[in-house]
């Protein structure tokens, strides 16, 4: 999948420095040794959502990078993972899930291309009518094109072949079919190259998915 949003290099957070920090050595300096909660699968590579100072989501980073931003007071924790913490010789730290930058960062984002591939990706590769993921998927015009429906994020949705055929040239109301999720323009964070597809529950309010 093409990256529609440039990964933000660490040096962007420290514009006055000529070289980026070495995360590993900085963390070693603080003697982090990972998690202290048995049975938890979180690691220092677990994903953390980065919010701008304005609370707009701007990127996803590893826990390692988030810890560095927190240690350097470049960010604050907004949401932490319950029942998990990070141990260092200096004490225990909450395990971040969402952090917020202390200063506003100007981030130019590329426009997400409206394409079949991106509609399917936005909808999690599942039919927005019946929810199946096991059938060949198509893109459905909610208001059919022949009746004035446009190619927009709001009027295009993922439909399995069966639902698409059943709906035919009708609106969902006419076909007595219900959309499981009203289609919206996706947030660029969901299209990050290193985003793994599963949305952390704690992230939902920030990604405007509710």
Interacting residues toward Zn ion by CB under 5 A: 127, 129-130, 160, 163
Query: At its nearest, how many Å lie between Zn ion and the CB of residue 162?
Result: 6
Query: At its nearest, how many Å lie between Zn ion and the CB of residue 142?
Result: 14
Q: Which residue, 100 or 141, has its beta carbon nearer to Zn ion?
A: 141
Query: At its nearest, how many Å lie between Zn ion and the CB of residue 190?
Result: 22
Rounded to the nearest angstrom, the gap between the alpha carbon of residue 75 and the centroid of all alpha carbons in its chain is 19
Q: Which residue, 53 or 135, has its beta carbon nearer to Zn ion?
A: 135
Q: Which residue, 126 or 187, has its beta carbon nearer to Zn ion?
A: 126
**Contact by Cβ (8 Å): 87, 98:** no
The set of residues, in sequence order, having a beta carbon less than 8 Å from that of 69 and lying 6+ positions away, is 13, 50, 61, 75, 99, 101
- What whole-number distance in Å separates Cα of residue 83 and Cα of residue 197? 23
Q: Which residue has the tokens 């590579």?
A: 45
Q: Which residue, 35 or 163, has its beta carbon nearer to Zn ion?
A: 163
- What whole-number distance in Å separates Cα of residue 190 and Cα of residue 83? 26
- What whole-number distance in Å separates Cα of residue 89 and Cα of residue 69? 19
**Contact by Cβ (8 Å): 47, 60:** yes
Give which of 186, 206, 210 is closest to 48, Cα–Cα.
Answer: 206
Query: At its nearest, how many Å lie between Zn ion and the CB of residue 133?
Result: 10
Query: At its nearest, how many Å lie between Zn ion and the CB of residue 177?
Result: 9
């Amino acid at each position: 999948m093409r990256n529609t949003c440039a990964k933000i290099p660490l040096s962007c957070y420290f514009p006055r420095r000529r070289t980026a920090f070495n995360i590993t050595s900085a963390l070693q300096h603080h003697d982090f040794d990972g998690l202290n909660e048995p049975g938890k699968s979180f690691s220092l590579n677990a994903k953390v959502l980065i919010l701008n100072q304005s609370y707009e989501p701007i990127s996803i980073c590893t826990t390692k990078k988030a810890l560095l931003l927190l240690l350097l007071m470049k960010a604050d924790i907004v949401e932490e993972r319950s029942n998990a913490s990070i141990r260092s010789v200096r004490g225990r730290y909450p395990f971040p899930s969402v952090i917020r930058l202390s200063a506003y960062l100007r981030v130019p984002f590329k426009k997400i291309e409206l394409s079949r591939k991106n509609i399917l990706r936005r909808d999690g590769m599942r039919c927005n009518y019946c929810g199946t993921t096991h059938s060949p998927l198509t893109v459905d015009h909610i208001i059919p094109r022949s009746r004035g429906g446009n190619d927009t994020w709001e009027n295009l949705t993922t439909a399995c072949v069966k639902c698409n055929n059943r709906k035919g040239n009708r609106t969902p109301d006419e076909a007595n079919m219900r959309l499981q999720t009203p289609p919206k323009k996706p947030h660029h964070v969901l299209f990050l190259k290193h985003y793994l597809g599963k949305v952390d529950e704690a992230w939902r309010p920030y990604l405007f998915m509710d």
